[in-house]
Amino acid sequence: MAATEDLFTPIHKGLRSMLYSLSTRLQTNDFADAASTQALVTDLENDFAVARSAGCTLCVLAHHATDEEDVIFGPVAKAGGSLVTTLISEHHDLTRREVEIARAAHDLISTTSATSRVAAGVRLNQAANELFAAYVAHMNREETELVPLMQGQFTDAEMVAMRGAIMARMPPDRLFAILGWMLPSLNVSELSELLTSVAKTAPPPLLKAITELGAAKVDPARWRAVKLRTGL
């Protein structure tokens, strides 16, 4: 029986939701308003920082890439080395873009001229759009090329173990911040499959915390359907 686990699409849906939200805030912000701009940049940095471990200077997207490389890409490289090499190269380019945006955001909030701040805001929004487009294209490639490759090379149990390893290495605040984006981004079938899979390896307290987060974040009608399917 072919494996069915998908380690990428659920988390990618959460990341897409995060990107779409940040994009909307960037393009609607009044950069002439210093207080509004400060709040946006603070929230943007908080969104990035919440996915960092202590001492790490890279944003949530780069940290997600590191998780993929450390836990998943090594075993996959034995079956699809050229694809993994390409994906790692894309990770490096995305990280460069992320660092540039972080620097631009810091420079922007130190600008005292409203006119200069508006111009810098336009540039920041453009750079963010380019990053988001590149990152979405990268995630699409992982889903269309890497997921089928893994399903042909690994068992569901092996992939569940990989997911467990990634979750175990995350600080709790980072894990639950990501889950806060991911859970409401999934449909009923995806949520049911994910929770059933996580329940196989997660300690009971962790599973309880995840289901409580789902109850708080997911649309109530969708969550009721998930509970009926999973019995959680």
For position 51, what pLDDT does the model report? 43
CATH number for the domain spanning 68: value is: 1.20.120.520
For position 140, what pLDDT does the model report? 97
The full DSSP string for 124-170 is HHHHHHHHHHHHHHHHHHIIIIIHHHHHHHS-HHHHHHHHHHHHHHS
Has residue 1 been placed in a domain? no
For position 222, what pLDDT does the model report? 96
* Predicted model pTM: 0.89
Q: Which of 3, 4, 16 is nearest to 139 (CA)?
A: 16
Has residue 20 been placed in a domain? yes
Q: Do 229 and 132 lie in a common domain?
A: no
Measured CA to CA, the distance from residue 31 to residue 39 in angstroms comes to 11
For position 48, what pLDDT does the model report? 52
For position 93, what pLDDT does the model report? 92
Has residue 2 been placed in a domain? no
Secondary element (H or E) of residue 175: helix 172-182
For position 59, what pLDDT does the model report? 53
Q: Which of 18, 4, 7, 8 is nearest to 185 (CA)?
A: 18
For position 55, what pLDDT does the model report? 29
Q: Do 224 and 117 lie in a common domain?
A: no
Q: Do 90 and 144 lie in a common domain?
A: yes
Other beta carbons within 10 Å of 48: 22
Q: Do 133 and 165 lie in a common domain?
A: no
Has residue 47 been placed in a domain? yes
For position 53, what pLDDT does the model report? 38
Number of domains within the chain: 2
**Tokens 């988390």 -> residue:** 11
If you ran DSSP here, which 8-state letter would residue 50 be given? T
Domain enclosing residue 14, as ranges = 7-154
For position 45, what pLDDT does the model report? 65
For position 58, what pLDDT does the model report? 37
Has residue 109 been placed in a domain? yes
Q: Do 105 and 196 lie in a common domain?
A: no
**Over the chain (232 residues), what is each successive 10-residue block's mean pLDDT?**
90 92 92 90 62 40 81 89 92 88 86 94 94 95 96 94 90 86 96 91 91 96 96 84
Residue type (1 letter), 159: M
